[in-house]
Structure 1
Amino acid sequence: MSVDLDHIRQVMEEADCLYNEQQIEDAIATMGHSITEKLADSNPLVFCVMNGGLVITGKLLTHMQFPLEASYVHATRYRDQLTGGRLEWKVRPSQSIKGRTVLIIDDILDEGHTLDAIIDFCKEEGAASVLTAVLVDKKHDRKARPGLKADFTGLEIEDRYIFGYGLDYQGYWRNANGIYALKGH
């Protein structure tokens, strides 16, 4: 697959910055404080949902000053596309979940199909409780199930195609130091 890097650069040049780095870092610190208050005594197993959850998980872990076990899962629907497809498990949890408090960290709660499937998997594997943390919750009425919300949310965002801080545009710009929206989307 040939990538048009000029197009990728142009997307960033034309994008609208919805949240800058400081606003995001403040939201992450607030999330970390809330998670610490709720989970400090629970010995949680914390899963980063790859690849989108990489940035938020790394930054959030530094605000969670208590013993925890960190790992990752990799399930995807997007496969570098703009719209979702069927759920594909690339890496399932390798640790025993039975009887554990599980915290799943992801970049975004859009429709929530991927997050919902991971939650169901953890419950089926016997987790004592399953909590979720997302950097961004997209505001719309297309959630996977009515009332689907993360337990910990950093920012809410309008219903646009966004990228940066772990969120990607066609596999690129996860490294952008803000959250941006595509021009016209």
Structure 2
Amino acid sequence: MPISLEHIQKVMDEAEVLFTEKEIEGAIDRVAEQINQQLADSNPVVFCVMNGGLIFSGKLLMKLTFPLEQSYLHASRYRNETSGGELFWKAKPEISLMDREVLIVDDILDEGHTLSAIVDFCKRSGASQVYTAVLMDKQHDRKARPGLKADFFGLYCADRYIFGYGMDYKGYWRNAAGIYAVKGM
């Protein structure tokens, strides 16, 4: 059933700003510094997880100061819904990962099922080391594995439904220039 534009606009109008564009850009700068220190001599393959990781990945890549190969992959559990289901691969990596260091860049570490499955896939494909970078790390006790953390992260957020800077609300508002929490979610 199509979502009305009135509903989508109402979600934005009622949303709470959690992080401004300036705060997010500062977090991306910090993540880039950490990655530059860790991966500068490794010749990594950097994968953007589509669609959510697109904005974070694009902004982050411009701040990385070493040679790298960049590509994308597309795996999702949400498929424009507000809760996750079974992992669905839309596009698997086409670059060989054999004996390469890999950096997976995604928008958010929520429960971590998708990110864990991507990391496992890269390891099975021969990657020598797999790192993860996320813009947001959602704080709750429902992680796929106890203690699951990204190697590099920008900001922590409360356990709310958020959107903006690549993250969506039912397929909308990935283009929002801040990070917002949906009212009542």
Bucket of the pairwise TM-score, normalised by the shorter protein: over 0.9
Please give the TM-score of this superposition, normalised by the length of structure 2: 0.99
Q: Give 1:165 deviation, angstroms.
A: 0.1
Task: Give distance in 2, aligned partners of 1:133 and 1:28.
Answer: 10
What is the 5 A alignment of 1:1-185? 1-185=1-185
Q: Give 1:3 deviation, angstroms.
A: 2.6
Q: Give 1:143 deviation, angstroms.
A: 0.3
Task: Give distance in 2, aligned partners of 1:163 and 1:2.
Answer: 19
Query: Residues 20-78 of structure 1: CA distance to partner in whole angstroms, max 9, x if unpaired?
Result: 00000000011001100000110000000000000000000011011000000000000
Structure 1: segments with no counterpart, 5+ residues: none
Query: Residues 5-29 of structure 1: CA distance to partner in whole angstroms, max 9, x if unpaired?
Result: 0100010000000000000000001
Q: Give 1:2 deviation, angstroms.
A: 2.4
Q: Give 1:103 deviation, angstroms.
A: 0.1
Q: Which amino acid aligns with 1:32?
A: A
Q: Percent identity?
A: 64
Q: Which amino acid aligns with 1:67?
A: P
Task: Give distance in 1, aligned partners of 2:12 and 2:95.
Answer: 39
Aligned-residue RMSD, C-alpha = 0.5
Structure 2: segments with no counterpart, 5+ residues: none
Task: Give distance in 2, aligned partners of 1:76 and 1:48.
Answer: 13
Task: Give distance in 1, aligned partners of 2:2 and 2:47.
Answer: 33
Runs of 4+ in 1 over 6 A off after TM superposition: none
Aligned length: 185
Task: Give distance in 2, aligned partners of 1:124 and 1:77.
Answer: 20
Task: Give distance in 2, aligned partners of 1:22 and 1:65.
Answer: 22
Please give the TM-score of this superposition, normalised by the length of structure 1: 0.99
Task: Give distance in 2, aligned partners of 1:134 and 1:72.
Answer: 15
Tell me the SS of whatever aligns to 1:46.
strand
Q: Give 1:184 deviation, angstroms.
A: 1.2
Task: Give distance in 1, aligned partners of 2:122 and 2:81.
Answer: 27
Task: Give distance in 1, aligned partners of 2:176 and 2:2.
Answer: 22
Task: Give distance in 2, aligned partners of 1:2 and 1:106.
Answer: 27
